Structures are given as C-alpha cells and as structure tokens.
Amino acid sequence: MTTHRTIAFTLNGSPVTAHVGNHQNLVELLQGQGLFGARESCAQGLCGCCTVVVDGQAVSGCLTMATLVDGADVRTIEEPQDGEGGLDAVQQAFIETGAFQCGFCTPGFILMTRQLLDANPHPSDDEIRHYLAGNLCRCAAYPEIIKAVRLAAKKRKG
Amino acid sequence: MATTLGKNNSGASSFESVGRSIPRVEARAKVTGKAEYVHNLRLPGMLYGKVYRSTVAHARIKGVDVSAARMLPGVHAVYTAADIMKLVPDPHYGPAFHDQPVLAIDKVRHVGEPVALVLAADPHVAEAAVQMISADYEELPAVFDEIEAMTSKAVVHEVLKPAGTFPDLKHLKGKRDTNIALDFHLRRGDAQKAFAAADHVFEHTFRTQQVLHVPLEPFVTVADPTPNQLVIHTASQSPSFVRIEIARLLGWPENRVRVKVPYLGGGFGAKLYIKLEALVAIAALLAGRPVKISLTMEEQFYQITKHAATLRIKSGVSRDGKILARECEVWWNGGAYADIGPRVTQKSGFTAPGPYDIDHVSIDSYALYTNLPAAGALRGFGIPQLVWAYESHTDMIAKALNIDPLAIRRKNILREGRPQATGTLMRDAGIEQVLERLARRMQWEKAFDHEGSDNDKGTIRRGRGIAIGFKASISPTTSVAIVNVSADGSVMVNCSTVDMGQGSDTAMAQIVAEALGIPVEAVTLVHPDTDVTPYDMATLGSRSTYHMGHAAKLAAEDARDKLVALAQEVGLSAETTPIPDIFRKKYGMQAGNIVGVGSFIPPYTPPEPGTGQTPDATPFWMIGATGAEVEVDTETGEFKVTRLVNIVDVGRPVNPAIVETQISGATLMQLGFTLSERMEFDAGQVTNASLADYKIPGIRDVPAVMENEAVDMVQKSGPFGAKGVGESGTFGVSPAIASAIDDAVGVRLTSLPLTAEAVYRGLRANAGRPLED
C-alpha cells in the first residue's frame, strides 16, 4: 500500500536520516524524532499548531509530506536559542506578557513571530494581526500575544 | 535556599504570594514545545484505534460487516458492541444517565456515533480499514428540534436510565417513551396573580444555536493494561470521575484503575466525564496491548457540544420599570446522550430570571433528548444562553417603556442580602459593584454619538449596549489535597485539579506558598494521577480556585501544624529554624516527610422538589458584565464590534495577570459564539465540521478596544478571599452586542449568532420592504 524511502536532512542544526513512508507528513516525521512541539490539530493548514520552519520558511507540518524535507534545513520550536536560559527574545516576551494559556498553539505563534520580526523588526499592531491571522488560539490569548510581539521587538532592538 | 515557615497569616489582609502576577509555573515548558500532553505519549507495542461511525441520525442496526477490514494486512483487531459486551455485559456510561454505549448496541442515535473500532500498529492502516466497514440500517424517524422533542413520536431512548448519583433524577428511572431527561421547576410567590396586577406584561422568545468547544488538542486517550492495573493516560478534566466510572464498568475496585492527566491543550468543559476513556480502556483489555485514540478535528464535532436552547421569558412590570413577576421556560437541546445536560437544566435553570430582585418567579426548565450530537458543559454551563435571553428581554422592556438600560437595571438588580429566586440570600455578590463600574468605564451617562466618523457618514450608525449576568457555583462538590514537605523544605502539592490553561497549577502553588509562608518557587504541583493525587469532583464550572484552593490551603495548614509539632518535639522553634534543620534534628540526616491533608465540601441544602426553594443553593456567586460598542452599515447590515468592556467579580484575584487573561479569553470565546460559530446540520449530519467552515475567532476578530477589570471584592468564604473566574467573562457578551445593534439601527435580533444578514433583514423589514426567506 505504501512505499518508504530514507531521507537525510538537518534538524535543528544536526544531520539526521530517517526512514519515512510516502504517506507520512512532517509532523509524523518529527514525532518519530521525539519532537512533539509541532502538533497536528485541524489537519488542514488552518490553525498553525503544526508550524515548522523549512529552509527558513514557516510551513504547515500537517500539509508538508515528510519526503519533501529530504536535504532541507528543518527547525522546530525545540531548537535551543542563544538568549538567557536557552530562550530567545520572543520566548521571553511570551512568558513575561503571559501570552498563552493551554500552550498547545504557542510554538506556532512563536515561530511565526520570529519570522515576522526578521522581516519587519517594528511591526504596527495591524501588521501583527495580519501576519498572525493564520494561527488560531482557542484560549484567545490574542491581546497578550500582540503585547508579546511588541515586547519581543523591543527586546530584539536591545 | 533553606526556607523557614512564615508566620501564620490566615487571618491577614495583605499577602506575600497571593495577589502577585507571577508567570505560570509551566511557562518555560510551554514556550519550548516541551510541555507534556497525552498527544505526545507513545508506548511500546501500542496500537492506534480508529472509529467507524454512524452515517444516519436514528436507526436500528441490522448488521455491521467488518470482515473486509479484519482481512486487511496490519489490522490487529476490529471490535463491535458484541466484542465489548464479552468483557462488559452492560457497557453504558454517563454522569447523569447510564445511557451512552461504548459502541452502538442495536440502535444508533446520532450521526457520528461510534459503531466499530479498528486497531492497528500503523494509524494509516487503521484508517484504511475503517473505510472497508459497512453497516446496514433500518432508519427510524428522527427528532432534531428541542420543542418538537417534547411531544415527538420519535423517541431517542425507549427507557430512561438515571445513574443514581443525583437524587432529583431518581423519579425518572424506568420512564418510557419520553425525550424529557429532566424537568426542573421553581416557584416563588405567585407569578400568575402578579401578571394580572402588573401595568405591563412583556413576553419574548429567544434562541441559541448549537456550537462546540474546539480545544486545539482534540480528544486523546491512551490505555495501558499492565499486570496489576489498567493505566489510563487521558486529556480529561475529571480524572477522579474517569477512575470511578471505568472501575464501575469493569466491576473492579478503584485502585486497579489508574488515571493520569498531564497538561491539556484546552478543555472548556468538553473533556469531562467519559469521552474516549471507556472505549480505549476496553479495547486495550481486549487486545492485551496499549491502545491510543486521537480524534481528528472533524470527529470532534460529533463528540460533545454546547446546548442549543429555546427560551421563553415573560415579565410583569410596573409603569416605572419595576419587575414584579417573571416566568421562564427553557428547553435545552441535549442531543442523543444526556452527558451532564440534566445538571445544566437544574443548576443553571434556577438563575433563569437573572440577577434581579423579583418577588414572583416561575421557572420550568427541560433537558431534551434529540438525534443530534450530545451536548454537555461549555464554559458557563448554560448561563450564557440564559443571560442572552434575560438581558435581551430587559432591554426590550426598557425600550418599550422608554427607560434607560442602565436605569432599569439599577432599579431591579439583586442587592447584597436580598433573596435570589431560590430564596438563598445574596452574599459577597458584587452585582451592584460590577454594574456601576461598567457604567463608569462606558461613560454611560455621557451623551453618545450615534453618527459614524466623518468619512463614513451616511451609512454607518454607532450603538452601545450593556448586559450583566450571574452564576451560582455548582454545589455540593468535594476536593481533597495533599501537601508534602520534603526534608530540604521543598513542597509538593498533590491534587487532581487539571491545568487545561486556566493556570490552576500556578494558583495552587501561590495558595500553598501563602499558607506556609514560604516562597512560591519552593512549591511544585504533582499532576493528576489517581494513584497519588486524591479525589476531586472535576475541573469544571470555575470551581477549582474556591474548592481545591480551600483543600490545598487546609492541607498546607495541616502540614504547618505538623511541622510546628515536630519542631517542638525536638526542642526547636518552627518559626525561626530553617525547615531542613528541623528534619535533620529529628532524623539525623536529610530524611522524612511531613504530609498535610485537606478536604473541602461547602455547606449546601438541596432545593425543595417542585418549588426549588433552598436557603443555601451555592457557596459563591460569579458576576460578569459586558459593555459593547458597535458600528453598523445601514446599507449592508454588516457590523463591527469596536469596543468591549468586561467587568467581573472574582473575589480577590490570586494572580491578577492570569485572571485578566481568563476574562478576555472567555469574552473572546463568547464573541465567537455570538458572531460566527454555528454547527450546521443536514439530517443530523454536520455540514461544516472543519475549521475552514466553522469559524472560531482569530487574532483579527479581537475588537480594537478591549478592557477587562476585576472589581475590588473579597469572597469572605473563599481561600484568601478568592473565587472562580473562568466563565464570568462570557456572560454579558451576546446580549450587550445585540442591544448595541438595536441602539444603532433599531433592529432587535433574538437568535444567535448575530449575522449581517439578520441585521439586513431587520433593516429591510423596518423600511417596509422585507426580504423573502
């Protein structure tokens, strides 16, 4: 019913090989590596819980076939950061502003916020809302998330 | 860091740990993606289960053909009800009625009901096998509407089977040919007589739609049959209930079932009682291997929902706006299985007249079976439906009598010490404080500009509305906690409260730290594990801060007393000696524990049958009010909520920052239920079971201005003055927005959700050019 192949890619900076089925998605591939921060929720690329950064671009892990990351640079929420205690400015800002409740969607918001601030270091509130519109938070910590993005921008500036 | 017991500050009014906005204790785990959820769990030898579900709403099962699925390579087993009954002869469960089968037996009662289960080591194989199953049905007439269900010939359950847990359900045992799963009645004074004497009588009917919780972590359970125990890892808000109910089904003692709950990816009332646990537990025992079931988002639409309701409300009012009498009839659409619906009917039913001081009250509240997915508890336990009706009704009366919405509320609200409809006197209920604070923040008494801004003039009209609601904490319920002091002075709290995002771990750590007078950093939480965390009724209804908070505080005080006694025994003062030194003096080394236990159940008097009267209906009241401002486009009916002001009484906030997130989170969830969320059905089939078609609020749906505030109140009976907060933000949202729309353009909507189309139809009707349906 299915075929498998071996792929090689970089996972959070380290080389990895994996045996994957052609029907498996990136979330399943990462679970096989013991990483559970990218989570399949809506399975339609609508909620952002499964966000993974592939070759510098945030993608929906649930819609990305595992075999497609062969040779790619894959980064996840588990990647240790340079900042204090292994957390970057965005993670610290999310903690300080209390920008999550259950935490299930939080990795996706953090990865998207990093990408936003890389492209636009000083986003307006409208730009923040526009950029994060593809991530859902059922606890609706949105007001705090907006504050967290603002704080992270400030922290990054130093 | 050697900690010393602080002074006993139980009677103090200023605190060290309580009242501080410390970050959540699990914050780091959550921002690194490493927080533990059942979602992450994989066990050696584990099988994945996929469910074959009913495609019809009501039918007799003539046969289920699983032969092709069983033949598929990689399939470990396929089970139907017949297999389940080999292990459990009567596999029906539920908190109020034992009405829900583990897999459908003889009959299916809603689309999506589990009929068969496939197990395979590869979930994709299990999924493929499910597609090979077929069932043969003899379809029966179905009933979907709650009013029709009152008299319908279509009967969802032939015989009612109350669980026996609740005394007010016992009279329903064995009742046949009815869809009424509970009727609750309250009588105070003589409403009929008062109507006859009133200057005005108003009567309106309101409707709310069926919606659902949509936790982003869908339901997930793993069961692991070990030699001595069945271990269930589950995303559940009620680990103690799961243990008791699974033990009952299996005929085992409680201690042979172990239920473990890590963090939840959202709950909101969905993950209560038994959901996947019975099916997964029995499948694991039959297979002799660990089994995991994770629902997909689509399947989640068939698991548990929020009651649609029809609410009729009638008031007798004096010329100057005093409400003299009120009659409420509420029909709750409970779907195919009762779940906790009968509790919603009674426990919420008795607040149906609203937070108003009315001498003559009559309430009839009905829980109904229909052929829709089951309805249970969802953030507010029926209260948002009731507030929607009584606050819309209040403003319709105010408008008819030309009285200001704030003035009519000021005239009628229940003030401190006055009796509520049950006869229970209001205590520490900041209804007046919340209303007045809302009025002030809305600047209600200043003139309001109904015109749009300059560039919108002509088509935009602005409006504003206010609404206030209240809820009684469900009672009586029990919480037990253990506080375990280790020899180095660090402290663990064992409690079965589930942190599903509301911050209970942090709140309990703060409460225990406060009671012991030690730094909050010295306290950690042991997550629910029924082998080591004691009984708790459940994490629901905003009860944990008050009930478990009390138990944890009592346990800490017990530990403190024991530590003081131990210090005395060895000739030391506990208040000046670091805790490790006390242990070292006693045991000669870093050894030993001090274990404190606390158990809490509030006083309660059951309501009198028929009249619903009781002097003690609840341990505390939750109050929430919302003010809304909207802009409505008179050409299209489109409208925008531009400002939401949410004011609540939560007693003294244990953690003000987390409290604020709870208020705004609850408000925004209710905003979804008000504006965009509605389960659409075609013959019982959900036609929008996807986040593409069922719209939950996103970041762009947050109003431009949102203000949240907990008024300065103290719940004197609460732990350090605190009470619950998780639901209060939901209460006033829907009616405040509906009133704001009416204020803007004179269109009064009486059904949720509020849509641009409904506003446009209202505008056309007002203009004498109604649209055809």
Which residues are B525's β-sheet partners? B493
B40/A36 touch (CB, cutoff 8 Å), yes or no: yes
Nearest CB neighbour to A37, from listed B33, B661, B664: B33
Please report the pLDDT score of residue B314 as a whole number: 98
Cα of B325 vs its chain's centroid, Å:
30
Whether the Cβ atoms of residue B675 and residue B741 lie closer than 8 Å to each other? no
Name the residue with tokens 């009905």.
B366
Show Cβ contacts of residue A81 under 8 Å, excluding neighbours closer than 6 positions: A87, A88, A91
Q: Tokens representing B699?
A: 């970041």
Please report the pLDDT score of residue B773 as a whole number: 81
Show Cβ contacts of residue B72 under 8 Å, excluding neighbours closer than 6 positions: B125, B128, B129, B132
Residues B682-700 as b or e (16 or more Cβ within 10 Å = b): eebbbeebbbeebebbbbe
CB contact B268 to A (< 8 Å): yes
ipTM attached to this prediction: 0.98
Spell out which residues of chain B touch residue A101, defining contact as CB-CB under 8 Å.
Answer: 266, 501-503, 661-662, 665
Please report the pLDDT score of residue B452 as a whole number: 73
Q: How far apart are CA B124 and CA A21, in angstroms?
A: 10
Section B687-700 average pLDDT? 98
Q: How far apart are CA B342 and CA B97, in angstroms?
A: 9
Show Cβ contacts of residue B12 under 8 Å, excluding neighbours closer than 6 positions: none
A133/B24 touch (CB, cutoff 8 Å), yes or no: no
Q: Is the pLDDT of residue B231 over 80?
A: yes
* pLDDT-derived band at B166, boundaries 50, 70, 90: confident
CA distances for A123 relative to A114, A115, A117, angstroms? 12, 12, 7
Q: How far apart are CA B177 and CA B162, in angstroms?
A: 15
Residues in chain B: 773
Percent of chain B with pLDDT over 70: 98
Q: From A48, which residue of chain B is nearest by alpha-carbon distance?
A: B216
Which residues are B309's β-sheet partners? B208, B332
Nearest by Cα to B240 from B603, B509, B495, B541: B495
CA distances for B548 relative to A68, B596, B603, B623, angstroms? 49, 14, 15, 20
Nearest CB neighbour to B216, from listed A47, A110, A129: A47
Q: How far apart are CA B396 and CA A12, in angstroms?
A: 60
Residues B236-270: tens digit of each pLDDT: 999 999 999 999 999 999 999 999 999 999 999 99
Residues B695-737: tens digit of each pLDDT: 999 999 999 999 999 999 999 999 999 999 999 999 999 999 9
Section B645-658 average pLDDT? 97
User: Rounded to the nearest 5 degrees, what angle is found at the Cα of A57, between the Cα atoms of A56 and A61?
Assistant: 120
Percent of chain B with pLDDT over 90: 93
Q: Tokens representing B133?
A: 């199953």
Nearest by Cα to A37 from A23, A26, A46: A26
Q: How far apart are CA B773 and CA B758, in angstroms?
A: 11
Q: How far apart are CA B35 and CA B29, in angstroms?
A: 5
A143/B698 touch (CB, cutoff 8 Å), yes or no: no
* pLDDT-derived band at B521, boundaries 50, 70, 90: very high
A78/B691 touch (CB, cutoff 8 Å), yes or no: no
CA distances for B364 relative to B96, B209, B247, B722, angstroms? 19, 20, 36, 33
Please report the pLDDT score of residue B348 as a whole number: 80
Q: How many Å from the N-terminal Cα to the C-terminal Cα in chain A?
A: 54
Least confident range from B341-350, B449-458, B482-491: namely B449-458
Q: Tokens representing A94?
A: 């999310």
Q: Tokens representing B244?
A: 């008791």
pLDDT in tens, chain A (158 residues): 579 999 999 999 999 999 999 999 999 999 999 999 999 999 999 999 999 999 999 999 999 999 999 999 999 999 999 988 899 999 999 999 999 999 999 999 999 999 999 999 999 999 999 999 999 999 999 999 999 999 999 999 87
Q: How far apart are CA A4 and CA B85, in angstroms?
A: 39
Spell out which residues of chain A touch residue B700, defining contact as CB-CB under 8 Å.
Answer: 129-130, 133
Mutation site, A33, A95, A139, interface B, largest B CB count within 10 A:
A139
Residues B49-108: tens digit of each pLDDT: 999 999 999 999 999 999 999 999 999 999 999 999 999 999 999 999 999 999 999 999
Nearest CB neighbour to A101, from listed B21, B661, B700: B661
Q: Which of B277, B608, B727, B757 is catalytic?
A: B727
- Within 10 Å of residue B286's Cβ, how many Cβ atoms? 18
Nearest by Cα to B123 from A51, A63, A24: A24
CA distances for B88 relative to B79, B82, B236, B250, B289, angstroms? 13, 10, 22, 6, 18
Q: Which domains does chain B have, with CATH numbers?
A: 27-35+483-600 (3.30.365.10), 428-442+463-474+617-766 (3.30.365.10)
Q: Is the pLDDT of residue B1 over 60?
A: no
Nearest by Cα to B632 from B766, B741, B769: B741
Name the residue with tokens 């138990």.
B551
The DSSP string of B432-446 is HHHHHHHHHHTTTTS
Whether the Cβ atoms of residue A42 and residue B295 lie closer than 8 Å to each other? no
Give residue limits of the domains in chain A.
Answer: 4-50+59-73, 84-157
Mutation site, A104, A111, A128, A155, interface B, largest B CB count within 10 A:
A104
Section B433-462 average pLDDT? 89
Largest interatomic CA distance in chain A:
54
* pLDDT-derived band at B169, boundaries 50, 70, 90: confident
Please report the pLDDT score of residue B172 as a whole number: 83
Q: Tokens representing B256?
A: 């042979």
Q: A84-157: CATH homologous superfamily?
A: [2Fe-2S]-binding domain (1.10.150.120)
Please report the pLDDT score of residue B10 as a whole number: 59
Spell out which residues of chain B touch residue A39, defining contact as CB-CB under 8 Å.
Answer: 37, 39, 216-217, 265
Reported pTM:
0.97
Strands, DSSP E only, in B407-554?
Answer: 460-472, 479-486, 491-494, 523-526
Strands, DSSP E only, in B334-478?
Answer: 360-368, 375-376, 460-472
Q: How far apart are CA B2 and CA B579, in angstroms?
A: 7
Whether the Cβ atoms of residue B290 and residue B234 lie closer than 8 Å to each other? no
Please report the pLDDT score of residue B609 as a whole number: 87
Averaged pLDDT score across all residues of chain B: 96
Q: Is the pLDDT of residue B455 over 90?
A: no
Whether the Cβ atoms of residue B471 and residue B731 lie closer than 8 Å to each other? yes
Q: Is the pLDDT of residue B633 over 60?
A: yes
Q: In the annotation, is B727 catalytic?
A: yes
Q: What is the CATH number of domain A4-50+59-73?
A: 3.10.20.30
User: Rounded to the nearest 5 degrees, what angle is found at the Cα of B595, between the Cα atoms of B593 and B597?
Assistant: 175
- Within 10 Å of residue B250's Cβ, how many Cβ atoms? 18
Query: With a CB-CB cutoff of 8 Å, which residues 656-715 of chain B face chain A?
Result: 657-658, 661-662, 664-665, 667-669, 690-692, 696-700, 702, 706
Strand order in the sheet with B323-333: B180-188, B360-368, B323-333, B308-317, B200-208
B42/A31 touch (CB, cutoff 8 Å), yes or no: yes
CA distances for B66 relative to A12, B79, B132, B276, B471, angstroms? 44, 8, 7, 21, 48
Q: How far apart are CA B271 and CA B545, in angstroms?
A: 19
Q: How far apart are CA B426 and CA B419, in angstroms?
A: 6
Please report the pLDDT score of residue B456 as a whole number: 61
Least confident range from A134-143, B2-11, B89-98, B660-669: namely B2-11
Section B483-491 average pLDDT? 97
Whether the Cβ atoms of residue B583 and residue B590 lie closer than 8 Å to each other? yes
User: Rounded to the nearest 5 degrees, what angle is found at the Cα of A141, between the Cα atoms of A136 and A144?
Assistant: 125
Whether the Cβ atoms of residue B686 and residue B624 lie closer than 8 Å to each other? no
Q: How far apart are CA A7 and CA B300, in angstroms?
A: 34
Please report the pLDDT score of residue B645 as a whole number: 98
Show Cβ contacts of residue B772 under 8 Å, excluding neighbours closer than 6 positions: none
Mutation site, A52, A102, A149, interface B, largest B CB count within 10 A:
A102
Name the residue with tokens 């945030």.
A58
Nearest by Cα to B384 from B471, B317, B463, B458: B471
Q: Tokens representing B373?
A: 């997915």
